[in-house]
Chain A
């Protein structure tokens, strides 16, 4: 069983990750490169001016490096390759998490149920964290990274746990606890910077927030679909289904 989990996880992640890496190249990456131009400006200004200590410019130093290597002019093959690799590794991780949840839940692993699990995973790891921490472009002001990461992980875990409880237990008290778990991180609130300092145009940031969520949804759903299809394919070959 473990062998099949690893095989399905690897292949589903590889194919979905590769497809989404191509999608990113044409959707999110151009917006990131455009934002880095504003990030460089902000960094140059920060060097000349006093910046309040409680404002941390996202990605200090990176914009400068991007500018030094030509900024958005020209295609950076190394950067595209690394982004593709990181997306594929993330997709393999997503595939294994979907499989883990489906095996723990019991029942059939097919593309319909896998799509349902993938959608729930997107709600937990995409939509719910984005409610507090909108997907950000380089150059935007943000609260300290660790605080945001802790809030993000707690929100994803509580939302996933809450959805699980809500679906698996029909009792009123269980559903009340489930809803409280999903709402809790938003009642506490995500860490935000003391002031907003971004030079990135709001239109660009808004477009990026929507695009980034759509890309994450495509990654979860295509990974889920492939997990279901591949699992069924291997089950048929083993003569199980």
Chain B
């Protein structure tokens, strides 16, 4: 494998790590505002949950 190809594979692996981190962080935030059950979070995000058509009890 040439040095350029090695570097490309390494940067692709790095990109996947960043993508995974961004995905976990992003879905985590959406989970808190859209799905989390604790009353305080639910009450604060109530109107947003309805407005963005997340299931809300």
Contacts and interface: CB of A to CB of B under 8 A. Distances in A.
Interface of A: 1-2, 5, 9, 24, 27-29, 32, 56, 58-60, 62, 79, 82-83, 85-87, 89-90, 92-97, 99-101, 103-104, 106, 126, 129-130, 133-138, 142, 145, 148-149, 152-153, 208-209, 212-213, 215-216, 219
Contacts of B44: 82, 85-86
A93 B51 contact: no
A148 B18 contact: no
Contact of A149 (B25, B27, B35): B35
B33 A104 contact: no
B15 A136 contact: no
Contacts, number: 145
Nearest to B21: A2
Contacts of A92: 26, 29
A59 B43 CA distance: 10
Contacts of B26: 9, 92-97, 99-100
Contact of A135 (B27, B43, B50): B50
A34 to B, nearest CB: 12
A24 B16 contact: no
Given A62-B46, A83-B46, A89-B32, 9 more contacts: A1-B18, A82-B45, A83-B51, A86-B48, A86-B49, A87-B51, A104-B23, A134-B53, A135-B53
